[in-house]
Amino acid sequence: MTAASAASTAAPTLDALIQRRIRQDVQSMHAYAIQDSVGMVKLDAMENPHRLPADLQAALGKRLGALALNRYPDDRVNDLRRALATYANMPEGFDIMLGNGSDELISLLAMACDVNADPITGKKPVILAPLPGFVMYAMSATLQGLDFVGVPLTPDFELDETAMLAAIAQRQPAILYLAYPNNPTANLWNADSMARVIAAAGAVGSLVVLDEAYQPFSSRTYLDTIRAQPEQHTHVLLMRTMSKFGLAGVRIGYMVGPKALIAEVDKVRPPYNISVLNYECALFALEHREVFAAQALEIRAQRAMLLEALRQLPAVKVWNSDANMVLIRVPDAQKTFDGLKARGVLVKNVSKMHPLLAQCLRLTVGTAEENSRLLSALNEAL
Ligand SMILES: *Cc1c(COP(=O)(O)O)cnc(C)c1O
């Protein structure tokens, strides 16, 4: 049973009078489903498979135990902001804000958007992103009463530049999201297409949010381009997270961008959104960044081996990856998913997410041992 269905069996019906107080669109939504993974090889959520070494676990435990949990988070959160700005080599004139995961930053961005319809066309403001993409972009838009427009990628998961430029010109979005690399397709966009799309969005006054959640595993970062051409990127925000880095349980996302823009978005942030435990864990991790860098290197090596092994399977189509996940197409995704699950391996069946993902599964890159269990289970399940 998923966490969501456990919750729904606990609260089967809502009093009819109370129900009237809940938004209609929320009532017809499904809660984000988290798959039950107890006892499984967990390759469904792009988590780093490595834990902290035992000596660091002990040192962190001591540090967390000594914190003043009776106090609200204090100025130490600014130590983390500075440490992350240095870690990311933040450009001149930029500022940084933190979120309880980048999921929170995505919600806060939608919250900061003007919701008034255009006085001439009567159309609601729009958040735009290519599809298939990260589900939070659409969800944050809907929950704030904004429209979401998804522009399909090409069948090989590149940006459809013509369609993107047309949608930007026609809808003049409040925000354009580009995940770089994208989830669940794991690829980077063509650099020239991306530059033209970002420029077109700037020309109609859109914000562009570049979501680099998978930066630890990526061969490129757009921050290099922003740093080289700052005057072309005054409408661009760049978002990262410590989740895929190895701290998915800690919940730290961050966003850098021009100072004045960050200052506006930061006004809608709940004042104590980063807990004492979150920031101390994140600071500890940055003090031991070489441990995480070694883990990322190992994951990239494992990704190369996994890609190579998958390419040997004639029934499997596999796409290249700049992230810690690999997208594959199999003859029957549900059957393969079930076969993997029966053999104790949990992956994500994304085949119903979007027509372009028909019969696709998303595999998170695990440890050497986990990947070999995945491969032998896949061979049997196909
Ligand atoms: C995982 C992911 C995130 C969310 O990360 P959190 O910081 O854990 O909330 C954001 N964007 C993309 C594209 C992701 O895949």
Tens digits of per-residue pLDDT, 214-229? 999 999 999 999 999 9
Among 109, 182, 244, the mutation site with the greatest number of ligand 1 atoms within 8 A of its Cβ is: 244
Average pLDDT over residues 17-27: 89
Query: Which segments of the chain does DSSP mark as H helices, in order?
Result: 3-10, 16-19, 24-27, 54-65, 76-88, 102-112, 135-143, 161-171, 191-203, 223-228, 259-266, 276-287, 289-311, 333-342, 368-381
101 lines ligand 1 (CB under 6 A): yes
Backbone angles phi, psi at 286, to 5 degrees: -70, -30
* The predicted structure's pLDDT at residue 1: 40
pLDDT exceeds 60 at position 248: yes
- With beta carbons less than 8 A apart as the criterion, state whether 339 and 347 touch: no
Tokens of residue 345, six digits: 């391996």
pTM of the full predicted structure? Answer: 0.94
Task: Give, for ligand 1, the residue of 107, 183, 189, 254 to mutate: max count of ligand atoms closer than 8 Å to Cβ.
Answer: 183
CB of 349 sitting under 6 A from ligand 1: no
Beta carbons of 112 and 265 less than 8 angstroms apart: yes
The whole-chain average pLDDT of the chain stands at 95
Q: How far apart are CA 342 and CA 339, in angstroms?
A: 5
Q: What is the mean pLDDT of residues 303-310?
A: 98
Question: Cα separation of 104 and 251, whole Å?
Answer: 9
What pairs with residue 250 in β-bridges? none
Domains and CATH numbers, the chain: 31-46+290-381 (3.90.1150.10), 69-287 (3.40.640.10)
The predicted structure's pLDDT at residue 11: 56
Q: How far is the CA of 30 from the centre of ligand 1 (A)?
A: 19
pLDDT at 374: 98
SS3 content of the chain, % helix, strand, coil (to 5): 45, 15, 40
Q: Give the pLDDT confidence score for residue 16 in this predicted structure.
A: 86
- Could you tell me if the CB of 253 is within 6 A of ligand 1? yes
Indicate whether 150 pLDDT > 90: yes
**How far is CA 168 from each of CA 128, 143, 200, rounded to the nearest angstrom?**
8, 22, 7
Ligand 1 close to Cβ of residue 211 (< 6 A): yes
- Give the Cα separation of 162 and 141 in Å (integer): 24
Check residue 2 and give its pLDDT.
45
Whether ligand 1 lies within 6 angstroms of the CB of 324 is answered as no
Angle at 180 between CA 268 and CA 174, to 5 degrees: 40
Percent of the chain beyond pLDDT 90? Answer: 89
Longest dimension (CA), the chain: 63
Distance from the first to the final alpha carbon of the chain: 25
Could you give the angle at which helices 102-112 and 135-143 cross, rounded to 10 degrees?
40
Residue 244 phi, psi (nearest 5): -75, -20
Report phi then psi at 12, rounded to 5: -70, -45
